[in-house]
Amino acid sequence: MSEATQEVLDENTIPENNQVQEPVNKTIDLSSLSMEELITELENLCEIQNPYSVSKKSEEIKTLFYKSLKSENNIEDISEEDSEQEKKTLHPLELKFKNVNNKFKKIKSDYRKNREKEENKNLIIKENIISDIDKLSKEEESLKVTFEKFKNYQKKWNNTGHVPITKSNDLWQNYHHHIELFYDYIKINKELRDLDFKKNLEQKTIICEKSEKLSNDKSINTAFNSLQELHEHWKNIGPVSREYRESIWERFQTATRKINKNRNDYFLNKKRILKGNTELKSSICKEIKKLSEDNPNTHQQWNNLSEKLNELSEKWKKAAPIEKSDLKKSWTEFREATNKFYSMKNNFYKNRKEDNNNNLQEKIKICEKAEELSTSTNWKETGKELIQLQEKWKNSAFVPKNLSDKIWKRFRSACNKFFDARKKHYKLLDKEKEGNLKEKTTLLKKVEKFDVSNNPREDIKKLKEFSEKWNSIGFVPKQDIQIKDKFDKVISSLYNKLKVDKSEKKTIQFQIKAERLKGNSDKLNVEKELIREEIGKVNKTILQYENNISFFGNGKGTERLKEDVLKNIENSKKEIEELKKKLSLLNKI
């Protein structure tokens, strides 16, 4: 079975024969360099003899440069294609970077053209070597001379550089075939041949061991590139004995397949991840588009949606990386979705500008009304009005802070002015109420010691003086308001002790009650309403009595019943008169 490699070297990873690759300073952390330093680093790469040996480094510098440029310009995304369309606004450093990068591309292109010429030249040389090896089998020189020529041809083959990739495998197969024919044809000395086979086997075994270790390398690309070098080395080693030829080749192929499978699996998995990220970005853009469908009509709703948009935007940015071929499409989709949202938001606030002015005028009116009330001393009613104005302010339409802040400070100042004054007033009242409590306590003790005499007129006069004095003193603290109940109870007990008839006593007691209601319009109105309701009830009773009389006949048995009803009617009319007198008394207060 012929030994043939299954891999073809990438042009960026093929080292030149007999040529030491340019050393690359791997200690430099490119991500820590500024944009100027990255340009300098790229300029240094232009001096490298083999630009393909630093091709990956140039791409990394390019990626880091545009990433830094994006960050400095504070834009969502940037690419070389986008910047080409925006030449009018190119950053000065970006222009310099493009010039250096184009220079590197030119050097790389020239190097490739020269290499292609060299490879074609090498192809002719190697084809001639194969032809010369083929001729060896036809020569009649000594075995030693023939074998020396053969070794020189091999050496010349190994020292000849690369040939075009498309010709490489077929050329090597042809070369290897002629070597095998040469060995078989000249029937070289068995010991010399076995020694050569043994040496080749040892070298190929070392290659197998190295390739087997590569399958455990954490870097997929490093393992793959190293494998290509081992394949190239394998091609330059002669054959081994037939008994090992199949097994050693199969061993090398097994290691090769394992590394290739790892690499293939890695890129398939990476492709799945990139595709998943692309789909995730697309789904996020759909969610952003749905935000615009909600058609919010308040500032708060727009704020809530803007927060959601920010969350989705961050999620979109973190869904990376994706395939380079999808970058532009994904970015366009994201930009269209966000632009639609911001366009609707801008239109909303543009339309609200006039509404804001009207809403501001409403707040100004509320503020002016509050300022009018701020000096009022009608503590109770004004307090209620200001609380209503505060509620009205709270429920009034939204006005941006930069417009409403000044008027809000005016409104708050007016409210504080009134409530601070009211608080100060009530504080003074509390001190006054404490004094009133002392006076009323003293008066209550005096009333408790009073005893009624045999002269009810004088006693009534004295009791009225007590009541008038009590009412003139004023309010006491809320927690001591029960002192009034004590006073009323003592006064009522003294009136009960007066030596007057029941009717007069009843009149006096109502007069006392009326005096207590003086100054309290709410309770006074309630008492009047109760009397009116009582008059209405008695009138209904009289009507009922009069209606009943119409049913009585003229017989002797009904006379007595009729007299009783007439008497009840008379009493009810007197009761109405008494109630009207009470009502009249209350109306005079």
Three-state SS string over 265-317 comes to HHHHHHHHHHHHHHHHHHHHHHHHHHHHHCCCCCHHHHHHHHHHHHHHHHHHH
Q: How far apart are CA 189 and CA 538, in angstroms?
A: 155
Token pair of 261, please?
């499978």
**Cβ atoms of 367 and 407 closer than 8 Å:** yes
What local confidence, expressed as pLDDT, does residue 408 receive?
Answer: 92
- Of 169, 163, 54, nearest to 116 (Cα)? 163
Q: How far apart are CA 345 and CA 347, in angstroms?
A: 5
Exposed / middle / buried, residue 203 (Cβ in 10 Å: 0-12, 13-18, 19+): middle
Neighbours of 59 (CB within 10 A): 10
- Of 199, 194, 291, 212, nearest to 257 (Cα)? 212
Angle CA(489)–CA(492)–CA(496) in degrees, nearest 5? Answer: 135
> Letter for the amino acid at 277?
N
What local confidence, expressed as pLDDT, does residue 74 receive?
Answer: 59
Neighbours of 249 (CB within 10 A): 18
What local confidence, expressed as pLDDT, does residue 247 receive?
Answer: 93
What local confidence, expressed as pLDDT, does residue 21 receive?
Answer: 41
Name the phi and psi angles at 498, rounded to 5: -60, 145
Q: Write b or e for each residue in 99-132: b if 16 or more Cβ atoms lie within 10 A of its Cβ, otherwise e.
A: ebbeebeeebeeeeeebeeebeebbeebeebbee
**Cβ atoms of 483 and 437 closer than 8 Å:** yes
Token pair of 524, please?
């006074």
What local confidence, expressed as pLDDT, does residue 203 receive?
Answer: 92
Give the pLDDT of the chain (589 residues) as one tens digit per residue.
333 332 222 333 333 333 334 444 445 788 788 888 888 888 888 888 888 888 888 888 888 888 888 877 755 444 444 444 555 567 888 888 899 889 888 888 888 888 888 889 988 998 898 888 888 877 666 667 778 888 898 888 988 888 888 888 888 888 888 888 887 766 655 666 778 888 999 999 999 999 999 888 888 888 888 888 889 899 888 888 889 989 999 999 999 999 899 889 888 888 898 888 888 888 988 888 888 787 787 778 888 888 898 998 898 888 878 888 888 888 988 898 888 888 888 887 777 777 778 888 888 898 999 899 888 989 889 889 989 999 999 888 878 788 888 989 998 998 999 888 888 887 777 777 788 888 889 888 998 888 888 887 788 788 888 888 888 887 878 787 888 888 888 888 887 787 666 666 677 767 777 776 776 777 888 888 888 998 899 889 888 888 877 766 565 666 777 788 888 888 888 888 888 888 887 787 7
Q: How far apart are CA 48 and CA 50, in angstroms?
A: 6
> Letter for the amino acid at 587?
N
Token pair of 329, please?
């499409």
- Of 47, 40, 57, nearest to 107 (Cα)? 47
**Cβ atoms of 578 and 535 closer than 8 Å:** no
pTM of the model: 0.36
Q: What is the DSSP code string of 356-422?
A: HHHHHHHHHHHHHHHHHHTT---HHHHHHHHHHHHHHHHHSPP--HHHHHHHHHHHHHHHHHHHHHH
What local confidence, expressed as pLDDT, does residue 426 receive?
Answer: 76
Longest distance between any two alpha carbons in the chain, whole Å: 184
**Cβ atoms of 259 and 224 closer than 8 Å:** yes
Alpha-helical runs (H) found in 34-142: 35-45, 55-73, 80-85, 92-136
